[in-house]
């Protein structure tokens, strides 16, 4: 079949899937993409000049006005800085690995819009492609060829995905995949893990992580008991509880859903045997295994956590990176399961903005960049330097700490650890984290405003960014 040109994306689409790319390619990224990794001299911090006085006056004025307009002054709870105290910052612009607030303060950013900015903020190639795509319109509410292009990229990359459905957020993806698991198995109950966050749909707001953990909220008011009566929970990394649940509810469990690496109650990696055992337990009991890779997808490796660990689930949810910073989500899996989804099958799910051309374009160019040799080796190197440096200076200053990372995802806790579950994470000194957080903000470093959120690096972060951050951390550790 002849290639079909996809305007604004600089590549063509063919009906046959190409061979799945490997994420373990040679580490030539540093030389081949150095211009994309480096932040322009006009936006980089320089230690040689006198540091600007840190003030949040304009942020305070804007946030105070926002509290009369929006609940809590924000459109997502963690942004209100409730767990770290003080004045939230209002962002004005971002570029590469840096961000600027409305008061003119500059920060090295380790949030990256909660993960999608893996090639750096406001990447020039992505912006150029979006500008071309926008000339044709921003939303069609109808099929476009860009959906085919991104779908084939996702299918060729992620081991478990043979068919994919695009949606508009991670929450939507998890809602859809839960309905699909129940439709395919004919069962109702699901197992989720304490501290894992799968969006704010009713069935998942049971012992959830993310903002629910950050704010110390119980199961949310407004969620009917009937909506969560089929949600079973287990501590993360606890195989015995999972086995007991399958024994107690024999033949009733549709699926086990989890973040293969937890990012929503801090960075928590699975024990070596955990994911393999879950794969075996679900197969033995006729249940589906679902990996929520909204955070880990295309971040731990090009094929996500499932490629990194060598475990293939039945279904996968994606988000963040596959929209390159624009609102997007997806769920996918084995063809026989996905063909249950309307209009191919009877399980209904729809969305007017799903597969919109702007999100597809940004996603295509982001994934295209991540296929280049050496990307994940570079992320592994700089993230390792960052987390080891922070832990070293923290411990030297007398603080009890632990932490870890995998490629472009990391986290640290103010506790001796080890941290294998949300219960372990809750032993952290959150008051100390809040002091550390505010100190780092004043030094020009932006982490997630919660002890219970993972951090992210990008291809735009430089060695200078990392060294600045470690030096700032050493300074703050001595003060707190």
CATH assignment of the domain containing 159? 3.40.640.10
Per DSSP, the three-state class of 79 is helix
**Is 26 part of a structural domain of the chain?**
no
Long-range contacts of 36-40 (CB under 8 A, 24+ apart): 36/119, 36/120, 36/123, 36/125, 36/369, 36/459, 36/460, 37/120, 37/378, 37/459, 37/460, 37/461, 37/462, 38/96, 38/462, 39/95, 39/96, 39/97, 39/98, 39/460, 39/462, 39/465, 40/95, 40/96
**Is 382 part of a structural domain of the chain?**
yes
Q: Do 359 and 316 share a structural domain? A: yes
Q: Do 320 and 228 share a structural domain? A: yes
Q: Do 296 and 252 share a structural domain? A: yes
Catalytic, out of 101, 123, 292, 465: 292
Domain boundary among 371, 394, 424: 371
Q: Do 409 and 471 share a structural domain? A: yes
**Is 91 part of a structural domain of the chain?**
yes
Q: Do 87 and 138 share a structural domain? A: no
Report CA 139 to chain centroid distance, whole Å.
25
Catalytic, out of 95, 207, 320, 426: 320
Q: Do 333 and 438 share a structural domain? A: no
Q: Do 260 and 216 share a structural domain? A: yes
CATH number of the structural domain spanning residue 412: 3.90.1150.10
Q: Do 128 and 80 share a structural domain? A: no
- Quick check: pTM over 0.85? yes
Q: Do 297 and 179 share a structural domain? A: yes
What is the spatial distance between Cα 157 and Cα 162, in angstroms, rounded to a whole number?
10
**Is 272 part of a structural domain of the chain?**
yes
Q: Do 185 and 137 share a structural domain? A: yes
Joined together, the tokens standing for residue 110 give 């380790």
Q: Are 475 and 442 within 8 A, CB to CB?
A: no
Tell how strand 402-406 and strand 409-413 pair up.
Answer: antiparallel
| Cβ burial 196-214 (10 Å sphere, 16+ → b, else e) | bbbbbbbbbbbbbbbbbbb
**Is 178 part of a structural domain of the chain?**
yes
Q: Which structural domain, as residue segments, surrounds residue 167?
A: 124-371
Q: Which of 216, 205, 211 is nearest to 76 (CA)?
A: 211
Q: Do 256 and 167 share a structural domain? A: yes
**Is 33 part of a structural domain of the chain?**
no
State the DSSP H helix or E strand holding residue 295, giving kind and residue range, or none if neither.
Answer: none
Catalytic, out of 29, 197, 302, 420: 197
In total, how many domains does the chain have? 2
Domain boundary among 371, 403, 435: 371
**Is 3 part of a structural domain of the chain?**
no
Q: Do 393 and 257 share a structural domain? A: no
DSSP letters for 360-424: HHHHHHHHHHHTSTTHHHHHHHHHHHHHHHHHHHHHHTT---EEEEETTEEEEESSS----SHHH
pLDDT tens for the chain, residues 1 to 480: 333 434 344 444 444 444 444 443 334 455 444 444 443 333 344 333 345 789 999 999 999 999 999 999 999 888 999 989 998 999 999 999 999 999 999 999 999 999 999 999 999 999 999 999 999 999 999 999 999 999 999 999 999 999 999 999 999 999 999 999 999 999 999 999 998 999 887 788 776 554 444 444 446 677 778 788 899 999 999 999 999 999 999 999 999 999 999 999 999 999 999 999 999 999 999 999 999 999 999 999 999 999 999 999 999 999 989 999 899 999 999 999 999 999 999 999 999 999 999 999 999 999 999 999 999 999 999 999 999 999 999 999 999 999 999 999 999 999 999 999 999 999 999 999 999 999 999 999 999 999 999 999 999 999 999 999 999 999 999 999
**Is 34 part of a structural domain of the chain?**
no
Active site residue 320: yes
Domain boundary among 339, 356, 371: 371
């Amino acid at each position: 079949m002849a290639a079909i040109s996809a305007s604004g994306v600089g590549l063509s689409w063919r009906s046959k899937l190409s061979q799945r790319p490997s994420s373990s390619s040679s580490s030539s990224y540093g030389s081949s993409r150095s211009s994309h990794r480096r932040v322009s001299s006009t936006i980089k911090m320089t230690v040689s000049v006198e540091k600007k006085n840190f003030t949040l006056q304009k942020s305070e004025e804007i946030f105070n006005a926002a509290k009369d307009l929006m609940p809590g002054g924000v459109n997502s709870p963690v942004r209100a800085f409730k767990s770290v105290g003080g004045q939230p910052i209002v962002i004005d612009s971002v570029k590469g690995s840096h961000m600027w607030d409305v008061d003119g303060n500059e920060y090295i950013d380790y949030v990256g819009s909660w993960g999608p900015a893996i090639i750096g903020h406001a990447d020039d190639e992505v912006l150029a492609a979006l500008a071309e795509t926008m000339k044709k319109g921003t939303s069609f509410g109808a099929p476009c060829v860009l959906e085919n292009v991104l779908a084939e990229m996702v299918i060729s990359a992620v081991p478990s995905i043979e068919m994919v459905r695009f949606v508009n957020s991670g929450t939507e993806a998890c809602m859809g995949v839960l309905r699909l698991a129940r439709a395919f198995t004919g069962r109702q109950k699901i197992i989720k893990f304490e501290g894992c966050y799968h969006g704010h749909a009713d069935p998942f707001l049971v012992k959830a992580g993310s903002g629910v953990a950050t704010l110390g909220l119980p199961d949310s008011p407004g969620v009917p008991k009937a909506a969560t009566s089929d949600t079973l929970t287990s501590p993360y990394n606890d195989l015995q509880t999972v086995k007991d649940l399958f024994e107690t509810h024999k033949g009733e469990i549709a699926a086990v859903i989890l973040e293969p690496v937890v990012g929503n109650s801090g960075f928590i990696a699975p024990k070596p045997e955990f994911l393999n055992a879950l794969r075996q337990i679900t197969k033995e009991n006729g249940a589906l295994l679902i990996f929520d890779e909204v955070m880990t997808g295309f971040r731990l490796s090009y094929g996500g956590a499932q490629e990194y660990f060598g475990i293939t689930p039945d279904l996968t949810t994606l988000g963040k990176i596959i929209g390159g910073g624009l609102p997007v989500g997806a769920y996918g899996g084995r063809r026989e399961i996905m063909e249950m989804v309307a209009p191919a099958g009877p399980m209904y799910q729809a969305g007017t903005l799903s597969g919109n051309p702007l999100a597809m374009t940004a996603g295509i160019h982001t994934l295209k960049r991540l296929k280049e040799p050496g990307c994940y080796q570079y992320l592994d190197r700089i993230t390792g330097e960052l987390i080891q440096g922070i832990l070293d200076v923290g411990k030297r200053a007398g603080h009890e700490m632990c932490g870890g990372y995998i490629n472009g995802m990391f986290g640290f806790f103010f506790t001796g650890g080890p941290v294998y579950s949300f219960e372990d994470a809750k032993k952290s000194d959150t008051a100390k984290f809040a002091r550390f957080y505010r100190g780092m903000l004043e030094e020009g470093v932006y982490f997630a405003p919660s002890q219970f959120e993972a951090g992210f690096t990008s291809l735009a972060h430089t060695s200078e960014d990392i060294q600045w951050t470690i030096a700032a951390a050493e300074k703050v550790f001595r003060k707190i």
